[in-house]
Amino acid sequence: MYSWLNIPAKGRTVVAHHFSPHCAGRPLFLMIPGGVTALIAGVWIYVVAKAVRVDHLRSVHTATPQLVVLLAIYFVGLAIFSYAYELYNWRRALALTLLLGIAGLAIIYVGVAVASVLRCLSKKDRGDNSELNSGHTSPVGGFYVDTPEGAGSGPDGNILSLATCPVCGQPLSAIGAPCLSCIAKTPRMAGP
C-alpha cells in the first residue's frame, strides 16, 4: 500500500484500479469531477473574499451566505475526490479531505492577503490617499473593471449599502435616491 504523499505511485494505483476488470468501482469517474468542483469552488471563494476584503465591493453580511454555500461545495468536492483517491476508504478520505481543505483555505487566505498588500503598495506608489478617492466612484484595479452601482467604500472606508451616499455616508431614503445632504452643499447658479 502506497502512502498518500507518494502522489505518482498513488495515481498509478488509482488508474490501475479504474481499468482493472477485477476491481469494483471506477474511481476516476468520481475523482475528476470532485477535484474540478473543489477547484472551481476554491477559485470562487477567493474571488468573493477578495471582493469583500480587498476591493470593498460587498459587505461581509451579503457575502456570508454565498461563502457558506461555496465552502460546502468546496468540501463536498474534496470529499468526493478524496473518497475516490483513497479507493473508497471513508476514514482515510475524511482525513485527506480535512487536510486538503484546510491547506486550500490557507492558500486562499494568503492569496487575499497578498492581493491586499499589492493593492496598498500600488496606491502608495501612485500617491493616492483617502481624500482623493472620496467621490461617487471608486477606482478598482485588478480583477474588477467597474464598481457595481451603489457599492463601494465611503469616505471613512466603511462598506456602504445600496441606500447610502458614497460621498458623505448619509443614509438615503431609497436606493438610487439623491442625497439631500450633498444637494444642500452644492452651490446653485443664479437663475434668470
d(CA 138, CA 112): 19
Q: Which residue has 460546502 as its cell numbers?
A: 72
Backbone angles phi, psi at 159, to 5 degrees: -70, 135
Q: Over its length of 192 residues, how does the chain's per-residue pLDDT go in tens digits?
A: 556 678 888 888 899 999 998 888 899 999 999 999 999 999 999 999 999 988 888 888 889 999 999 999 999 999 999 999 999 999 999 999 999 999 999 999 999 999 988 888 876 666 655 444 444 343 443 444 444 444 455 444 445 455 667 677 677 777 667 787 777 777 765 555
- In one-letter notation, the amino acid at residue 94 is L
pLDDT score for 112:
92
The whole model's pTM is what? 0.64
Cell triple for 49: 473574499
pLDDT per position as a tens digit, 10-60: 888 899 999 998 888 899 999 999 999 999 999 999 999 999 988 888 888
User: How far apart are alpha carbons 88 and 76 in whole angstroms?
Assistant: 15
* Domain range annotation of the chain: 7-126
How far is residue 21's CA from residue 5's CA, in Å, rounded to a whole number? 27
Residue 93 main-chain phi, psi, to 5 deg: -65, -40
Q: How far is CA 25 from CA 31, 83, 94, in A?
A: 12, 11, 19
Q: What residues are paired with 164 via a beta bridge? A: 171
Q: Please state, in angstroms and rounded to a whole number, the distance separating the CA atoms of residues 31 and 41.
A: 15
Go through the chain and tell me how many residues it has.
Answer: 192
